[in-house]
Amino acid sequence: TITPGATPGSLLPVVIIAVGAFLFLVAFVGCCGACKENYYSKRDSRSLHLQFAIFLSLIMLVEVAAAIAGYVFRDKVISEFNKDFRQQMQNYPQNNHTALILDRMQEDFKCCGAANYTDWEKILMVTKRVPDSCCVNVTQGCGINFNMKDIHTEGCVERIGSWLRNKMLVVAAAALGIAFVEVLGIIFACCLVKSIRSGYEVM
């Protein structure tokens, strides 16, 4: 159930399930269309192949639209991430689950705070105090009265944003590969429809 206070992260499983269900439907239609002539008439088989081609085209269009939207709104995504990250920082002292997530992010990306390490002074209300996960070598209490050389000073928003930009080429290449396979599927489905119309008997 989607609640009014749902976050993008909490909606991800719903989106994945919906996409998976749609892909299952497309695959099912494709399999039905590929069945032997004994089970389906030429007209039914042609109709199923057309549906398969249409569904596959819709998926490809959605992927292209998502890629374009991701590029156009890339700055908006970073802005929303910045806002959400700062909001989660406010919950850090009271919420252990949030603290674990932020600590893991800061350790993995070697960053501290949203813009920089000074963001934590406003949250923890203590000067020279950051979470231990900001330390270069994480040990208990290392974030208290720290030396600058012993902590990561760069903010997580910029660091994670840079990481995402570096990964965009890989994502784009994967998307192109998937789109190429989908185009082949559409072409083959259309060829089958044309063959059926011209009297080709589906084996």
Domain span including residue 194? 12-202
Each residue of 28-79: pLDDT tens digit? 666 665 554 444 455 555 676 677 778 778 877 877 777 777 677 777 778 8
**pLDDT the model gives residue 115:** 93
Other CB atoms within 10 Å distance of the CB of residue 85: 19
In a domain, 3, yes or no: no
Cβ atoms 89, 125 nearer than 8 A = no
66 within a domain of the structure (yes/no): yes
Classify residue 7: in a domain, yes or no: no
Q: CA-based Rg of the chain, rounded to a whole angstrom? A: 25
Total tally of structural domains belonging to the chain: 1
Q: Is the pTM of this model over 0.85?
A: no
Low-confidence stretches of the chain (pLDDT < 50) are 1-12, 36-40, 200-203
| CATH code: domain of residue 45 | 1.10.1450.10
Q: What is the pLDDT of residue 183?
A: 81
Looking at residue 55, what is its pLDDT? 79
Q: Let me know if residue 5 belongs to a domain.
A: no
**pLDDT on residue 199:** 58
Give CA–CA dist 26/103, Å, rounded.
Answer: 41
In a domain, 143, yes or no: yes
